[in-house]
């Protein structure tokens, strides 16, 4: 748990969250400011600040995030198409510095994203 990290606070149950999935290693929940009809995040419970801080040995955990993201996307009816995004750093548009996979769907996604 990292002080002042909003996602660590969600994991610790210190803030309300619309949880979609949880196990001992990861959690998924609806984004508070959705950019598509369906927009949820999948995060590790371990505080990893950003993709560039993923360490050797974290491969299975990162794979689990992507795997759960796809499972939930299909469960939520996004089989026709969805987008997964992981932002790193300021230029990548990262605003919360706890690793997260975005899943967006329920509308036609634009490309390039800008």
Binding stretches for ligand AMP (CB under 6 A): 6, 10, 15, 17, 29, 31-33, 87, 93-96
CA distance 42 to 1: 17
100 is an active site residue: yes
Residue 91 tokens read as: 């230029």
CA 24 centroid distance within chain: 16
For ligand AMP, give the closer residue by CB, 3 or 56: 3
CA distance 31 to 41: 6
CA distance 56 to 44: 15
Residue 81 partner contact from ligand AMP, Zn ion, none using kind-dependent CB cut-offs of 5 to 8 Å: none
Residue 46 partner contact from Zn ion, ligand AMP, none using kind-dependent CB cut-offs of 5 to 8 Å: none
Determine which residue in the list 9, 45, 47, 50 makes contact with Zn ion, applying CB under 5 A: 47
- Shortest approach of Zn ion to residue 43 CB, angstroms? 8
For ligand AMP, give the closer residue by CB, 77 or 93: 93
Length of the chain: 114
In order of 41, 69, 84, 100, the CA distances from 76 in angstroms are: 13, 11, 14, 19
97 binds Zn ion (CB under 5 A): no
**Positions in the binding site for Zn ion (CB under 5 A):** 2, 5, 7-8, 47, 98
């Amino acid at each position: 748990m990292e002080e002042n990290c909003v996602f660590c606070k969600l994991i610790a149950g210190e803030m309300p969250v619309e949880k979609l999935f949880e196990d001992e290693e990861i959690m998924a929940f609806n984004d508070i400011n959705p950019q598509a009809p369906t927009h949820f995040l999948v995060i590790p419970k371990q505080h990893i600040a950003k993709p560039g801080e993923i360490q050797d040995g974290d491969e299975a955990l990162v794979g689990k995030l992507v795997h759960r993201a796809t499972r939930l996307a299909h469960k939520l009816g996004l089989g026709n198409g969805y987008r997964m995004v992981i932002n790193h750093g300021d230029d990548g548009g990262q605003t919360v510095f706890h690793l997260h996979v975005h899943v967006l769907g329920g509308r036609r996604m634009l490309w390039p994203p800008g």
